Structure 1
Amino acid sequence: MYKIAIVGASTLLGKELKDALSESSLAASDVALFDEEEGLGQLDQVGDEVTFVQAITADAFEHVDFTFFCGTESLTRKFWREALRAGSTVLDLSGALDQEAGVLVRSPWVGEPDVAADLFTPAVVPAHPAALALALLMERLLQAAPVRDAAATVMLPASEFGRAAMDELHQQTVNLLSFQSIPRTTFDAQLAYNLLCGFGENARVNMNAMDSRIRRQYSALAGRRLPALAIQTISAPVFHGHGFSIFAELERPVDLSLLEDAFSGDHVDLVLEDTDSPSNLSATGQNDVLVRLKLEPGLRNANESARVWLWAASDNLRLYAQNAVECALDLRRLRPQGTVQ
């Protein structure tokens, strides 16, 4: 039985992580919920236990085995070293630590990491769900043939930027339908019924920072095993779920059936029916990345080509939480065993 702390427990990601822990082999753990001022005192339930969100005190991390940071980057930077000093294993989902020295970006689902976490690793960053989905898909593509070139457009939902972003998208949609002025506090731009590659200069969320974070973390997962990937991020007017449009040129033509075989397996769900399409709605609540394959017809055979299109979708919050739990399970080997801690 472990003791687990979730910092940023009242955020969308914090709540999803709590549910993922309750469904995992860590469900019997003692889970403490912490957050900043606006989340304090909220009643919540972890498994069968009713608890509440607490303030972070000087002894909050004492005897805590795993601390998940799910809140703002500033909250993580303020307390992560305190968690380390208390002997806790730190897992950062806030995006604050992936450029800190010695911190590893991880996913047990992608290949074999070149450098495994050890007792000297200060913290682990469970890979961002967009970077993880792209790495999973590129790894499967490599099983069919070497990749000469690849590019991806990633469509981000409002939930990627927190509850306030979702609320503003909702209010923008309602106000536009009633011909009223729209709120712009979060995006400083109209996101409803619109696609954006960046937000206004007074926006409270940073599209460029998110773009850079996904690029860095894909590169960290890819290492030297997976192909380089050109990535463009777009903010879509949806509340939940990632969408991916990916083009890849392979070193040699491959048959569609070979590609379909390569995309079978854990964490990726290949959609074969012509009438079905992966979408942010169909991916909701799914643990897998949904993907549809399409070949650009070759000169001699319509079912064989070196040019491949992938359309994919995933539940951004669920994929993030599931990967974070898997990282914690993978790191249990570093926790002291027995009664001495």
Structure 2
Amino acid sequence: MPENYKIAIVGAASLRGKELNETLNDSVFSSAEFLLMDDESALGQLETVGDEVTFIQRIEPDAFRGVDFVFFASDEEITRKHWQSAQKAGASIIDMSYALESTPGVLLRAPWVQDWNAAPDLKTTTVSPAHPAAFVLALLLKRAQTVASVVSAAATVMEPASEYGRSALDELHQQTVGLLSFQSLPKQMYDAQVAFNVVPSLGEAARVSLMASEARIRRHYAHLAEAMLPDAMIQLLHVPVFHGYGISLAISFDEPVTLDHLETALGGEHVEVVLSDSDAPSNLSSAGQSDVLVRVRTADGTELATKHFWVWMVADNLKLAALNALACAQELRFLRPQGKVQ
């Protein structure tokens, strides 16, 4: 029997919102009634929901009445403005904007990594899906330590422009065109040149903060690790690509491990280990993929057993965020049987 939930996506016109819409329509929630909402600038836009076309609506005070799930794929300001209205209406809230991650009672989740001991219960109204880079690192290190004890781990996370929305994408594109045509560069979003450039920080007037993003990844990884996973040093770089995370992870074990053994341990659900050098994982090959693509190499480049390895992983950042939000909603779904508001 289909479960006829009512689902609202706030920030439906955003990159995250569009990806989430597609992901939900390919999931157990495909038969739900969807409400697409956003701020004034997106009102009236047409979006496809399954086989139907619908308009993006204004977020009214009573917009969440009778809604089972509200996904906030908006910016932080919109989430903070409207989430309590959704909570008062009795909806389960999945906050993809990170606006509520430090709010008391909000549960930080990555169901692919965490077990049911930390799962939502009947008192849980709001869940914040963990940062994609944090839960990918947690997933890979959780599997790595089944081979041998991990004594050190250091990750460099390479972040794409789409992580900061359409405005960041547009500015990267405009900067690229401007440089090729010897024109001045727009810097409203980044306050720095990001086209053809790799940067660890942005200008003082930037609308986004790499330091804040890096701190969030560290914070979320530490929460997911919960003393069960190894400590990991993490640095964040912004790279001149539109989509897709690239993460370079250095792992050292307490005893020698074979390459085949580690590859076997890392592969499985949600992770595809690529063995061919001619088809090495890249942000282009990860586009639209549900799995994390991984390539493993020994630190010294040989095939001999060793304690030290490089793991290169790539993932579609928007797809991964949507899949984690979906997994969080599926946990909450068991608390709302048959779409009845509790």
Both proteins in one fold, TM over 0.5: yes
Matching residue of 1:39: 42
Q: 1:49 and 1:31 mapped to 2: Cα distance?
A: 10
Deviations 1:265-318 (A, max 9, x none): 1001101012221110000010011110011249xx842011111111000000
- Equivalent pairs: percent with the same residue? 53
Matching residue of 2:329: 328
Residues 150-159 or 124-133, more deviating: 124-133
- Alignment-mate amino acid for residue 51 of structure 2: D
Q: 2:254 and 2:125 mapped to 1: Cα distance?
A: 40
Matching residue of 1:235: 238
The equivalent position to 2:208 in structure 1, one of 205, 210, 222, is 205
Q: 2:82 and 2:339 mapped to 1: Cα distance?
A: 27
Matching residue of 1:266: 269
Q: 2:168 and 2:174 mapped to 1: Cα distance?
A: 10
Contact 1:297 1:303 in 2 (8 A): no
Where does the alignment leave 5 or more consecutive residues of structure 1 unmatched?
A: none
Q: Secondary structure at the match of 1:275?
A: helix
Residues 98-107 or 148-157, more deviating: 98-107
Matching residue of 1:64: 67
Contact 1:136 1:268 in 2 (8 A): no
Matching residue of 1:310: 311
Contact 1:269 1:291 in 2 (8 A): yes
1:336, distance to aligned residue in structure 2 (A): 4.9
Q: 2:116 and 2:287 mapped to 1: Cα distance?
A: 29
Q: 2:340 and 2:310 mapped to 1: Cα distance?
A: 53
Q: 1:113 and 1:310 mapped to 2: Cα distance?
A: 28
Cα separation, partners in 2 of 1:338 and 1:278, compared to 1, 3 Å: closer
Cα separation, partners in 2 of 1:181 and 1:338, compared to 1, 3 Å: closer
Q: 2:338 and 2:275 mapped to 1: Cα distance?
A: 46
Q: Secondary structure at the match of 1:144?
A: coil
Q: 1:213 and 1:289 mapped to 2: Cα distance?
A: 20
Cα separation, partners in 2 of 1:249 and 1:141, compared to 1, 3 Å: same
Matching residue of 1:10: 13
Residues 323-332 or 10-19, more deviating: 323-332
Aligned residues: 339
TM-score w.r.t. structure 2 length?
0.96
Question: Which contiguous aligned blocks of 4+ residues in structure 1 show a shift greater than 4 angstroms?
Answer: 336-341
Where does the alignment leave 5 or more consecutive residues of structure 2 unmatched?
A: none
Matching residue of 2:76: 73
Q: 1:90 and 1:331 mapped to 2: Cα distance?
A: 9
Q: 1:54 and 1:215 mapped to 2: Cα distance?
A: 36
1:114, distance to aligned residue in structure 2 (A): 3.8
Residues 114-123 or 185-194, more deviating: 114-123
Matching residue of 1:256: 259
Task: Output aligned runs, 1:133-172, within 5 Å.
Answer: 133-172=136-175
TM-score w.r.t. structure 1 length?
0.96
Q: Does 1:95 align with 2:60?
A: no
Contact 1:140 1:263 in 2 (8 A): yes
1:205, distance to aligned residue in structure 2 (A): 1.2
1:323, distance to aligned residue in structure 2 (A): 1.3
Cα separation, partners in 2 of 1:79 and 1:210, compared to 1, 3 Å: same
Q: 1:269 and 1:337 mapped to 2: Cα distance?
A: 34
Q: Does 1:196 align with 2:199?
A: yes
Q: 1:288 and 1:340 mapped to 2: Cα distance?
A: 33
Q: 2:293 and 2:181 mapped to 1: Cα distance?
A: 35
